[in-house]
Each structure stands twice: as C-alpha cells, then as structure tokens.
Chain A
Amino acid sequence: MKKGVMRPGHIQIRVLDIEEALKHYRDLLGLIEVERDSQGRAYLKGWTEVDKFSVVLREADEPGMDFVGYKVLDNQTLEKLQGELIEYGCNVEEIPVGELNGCGRRVRFDSPTGHMFEIYAEKEQTGKWGVSNVNPEAWPRGLKGMKATRFDHCLLYGPNIAGTLDLFQKVLGFDLAEQVIDPEGNKAAIFLTSSMKAHDVAFIECPEPGKFHHASFYLNTWEDVLRAADLISMEDVSLDIGPTRHGLTHGKTIYFFDPSGNRSEVFCGGDYHYPDHEPVTWKAEDLGKAIFYHDRVLNERFLTVLT
C-alpha cells in the first residue's frame, strides 16, 4: 500500500578525492555540478531532475555510501512516517533543515541490512537543467559525457534483507517488484519500488552489513548505453561488465567504477510495476541468467566487489 514515498531523492557517496570524483560524476556521467557546501561536499544532479540536487559527494578515508534519501509527498506524510519508524523500532535521528543546502528537515533511520536511509518532504526546486518548464525543448545543449538523465536507484548488500523488506513494505509502502529465491525459499535478492519503476532500491543478501554495490543513473536508449561504453574505453575507466541486459528487471546496462572504487551503473529500459502485480521471481539456481541475461554466467566481481 502506498504510504506517500514518491521517489529516490538523493544519495551521499564517500570518495577518496573529490576532484577525481567530479571528473567521474560530472565529466563522464554528465551530471550537472550544482554547488559545494561549507563542508566541501559537492552537489550534483541529472539534467531532467527538478529538485536542486540528487548526488552528494563527500571526501573521506573510506569509500562507500553514507545514506540514500527518499522524497515524500508533504510534511504531514513525513511526520506520520517518522512516528511509524520510531514505533517499528528503527533508530531514528532528525537532521535539521539546511544540513544539506536547499533541503528541508530529514528523518534518518537505520535498517536490518545496516544501511542508513532518510525521508524528507522539501527540497528547493530549481527545475530541469537547461530547459524551460513552458514549451520545453527536447534536451539542453552543453551536456557532458554520458548525459545521465537522473539518479535512478541503488543496490545495497547486507544481512537480513528479509528484515529490510518488511520495514520498507510495512512502514514506507514499497512494493516487492522482483525477487531471487533460493531452493530453501529464502530471498537472496529483492527489488523494491515506490513507483511504477521496476526498482527504486534493491538489496542482495550478504554477511557484511552496510555495503554499497552501485548507484544507478538512467539513460534513454540502448544507443546511449553503447555510447557510454565507448566513453569508458576512451577515458580508460575501470570497467566491471557490459554492455549487456539483466534478466532481473530486463534493463540494458553497463557497470563501471568511480576513481575511489564505488560502482556506477548507467542503464535504459526495464519492466514496470503496478501495485496489483505479483512479484516477478528468478530462481537462485539461474542466478547467472537473472543477473547477466546474455552471458548467463556470473562474474565473481559482481558479487564480491563492494565499498
């Protein structure tokens, strides 16, 4: 049941060197650099995103993800969900207005998989970058690199994904769109949505808590994914795998690494989900095909290389 969570709104990623990271996120992915804050964090967004920013880079000694935030309908929804998160038993922390420039009050909470999440209702809306909201042109001139359109979702690894699924379904109103089930009936992977997208967040079971697998950015076409692959070769960027197609969600994809070893994905296409849809199931025995639909074999790196 929908509880008023609209969409993934921001992700804060830790990087070893902020200038090197900007070459990746701004110049290669083609995100728009919005601003820097007094802590030295860099704010970026995809050009189609209406809110002020969606990606925050923080320089640190250890790469990985600090938190991912979801935007909810309004302050009343935020208030209500805050109460339900506390009642559910999460450790809940309130982050004051303006801790991220242009963002309203955030409610931060933990999860069984050891990740930090946030919900918030307000963020400065600066509109799509380079196009008007009245008689908009098809796309803006001057985009860089892969011309990523938006921050789409992230994939996180940790223990007890069944627990995180319960939290996201019961309190936040996400639906289970797709899953991987092992022969004993345990969930090995879950793809959750708060919208019509096949995933707004995904989890894979892993003994180590709080691990970050990738942040994903949306492209419009398969041709754009191939062009992204060309840029990865031209710039000698660390490639993980692709271009290929996933069985899960059927998205067309390529994976590569930022200069601190955090994985990025750009993808296009993919299935859709309505609240009355049964979850799509892949069997763990067919995990190779579920993850890489063409090769039908897993590369070990996809399961073990995490930040």
Chain B
Amino acid sequence: MSDQATHVIKVVNRDQSFQCAEDQVLLIAMERLSADAINVGCRGGGCGICKIRILNGDYECKKMSKAHISKAEQQQGFVLACRVFPRTDLEIESDHHQAVESSYQKTGARMAAS
C-alpha cells in the first residue's frame, strides 16, 4: 500500500465512496478496490469513457485528450478520472461520457428486442 496521504472520493451519482492516495489516479484506485463507480476505458487519457465532473475538492491533472475535455470544460471541473490525482477529499459525479452508439450495439439491441 502507498504511504502517501489518502483521500475519500465520494461519487455522488452512484452513491459510492472509495479511498485514493495522492500518488494514485482516481480510476486505478477505484479499480484496485474492485469498485464500480466510474466506467473504465483506456486508462490513458485518450478515449473519454471515464469522464467525470469534480464538484468539490482540490486535485492535479495530467494531460488529457482535448477531443474529450476542452479548456472550457476543464475550467468547469470536467476531467478524465484516469488522469486525476486527489489533493483533498473529493466529491465527484461520474457517467459524463456521451457514447456514440456503435452499429454493433444497435444490432445487439434489435436482436434482444426481437
């Protein structure tokens, strides 16, 4: 385990909390605890699947794909959970990724419906 200071990450929309050390990113800390509060994608700041909004608290952030987080959005607290290190306890809201529906999923849905 890390000997770094640990913070509580409260995921308000999923009514869940998990612990994250200062040298860990939110997404990996969540996965290590087998929690399911944020959707997991590439874990590298590229795909946008783990897009969240930070409602309260301080954090630091590594570079993220501007295709998923614009400058304006970043100022409003939108981040990718795989790139964020907590500096205090955080309150966050997950599920901010707008998925483009793939035709495969449409096919799957049609089959499930029939």
Contact = CB atoms under 8 A, between A and B. Distances in A.
A235 interface: no
Contacts of B105: 303
B1 interface: no
B66 A260 contact: no
Interface in B12-41: 40-41
B81 to A, nearest CB: 13
Interface residues of A, number: 33
B86 interface: no
Given A16-B63, A62-B67, A261-B65, A207 B46 contact: no
A159 to B, nearest CB: 9
A261 B103 contact: no
A304 B64 CA distance: 18
Contacts of B44: 16, 63, 238, 257-262
A61 B65 contact: yes
B31 to A, nearest CB: 10
A204 B104 contact: yes
Nearest to A157: B102
B49 interface: yes
B46 A262 contact: yes
Contacts, number: 93
Contacts of A287: 104, 107-108
Given A188-B104, A206-B102, A207-B102, A261 B66 contact: no
Interface string B70-114: 000000000000100000000000000001111111011001000
Q: Interface residues of B: mostly helix, strand, loop or mixed?
A: loop
A63 B111 contact: no
Given A62-B65, A62-B67, A306 B47 contact: yes
A238 B42 contact: yes
Nearest to B49: A305
B112 to A, nearest CB: 11
A303 B102 contact: yes
Contact of B66 (A61, A182, A284): A61
Contacts of B64: 16
B102 A304 contact: yes
Nearest to A298: B104
A207 B107 CA distance: 13
A291 to B, nearest CB: 10
A77 interface: no
A285 B111 CA distance: 8
A257 B42 contact: yes
Nearest to B80: A261
Nearest to B97: A304
Which residue, of A207, A258, A261, has the highest number of chain B Cβ atoms within 10 A? Answer: A261
B46 A206 contact: no
A277 interface: no
25 contacts: A17-B63, A61-B65, A64-B67, A183-B107, A183-B111, A207-B100, A207-B102, A238-B43, A258-B44, A261-B44, A261-B46, A261-B47, A261-B65, A262-B42, A262-B44, A263-B42, A284-B107, A285-B111, A298-B104, A301-B40, A303-B105, A304-B49, A304-B102, A305-B47, A306-B47
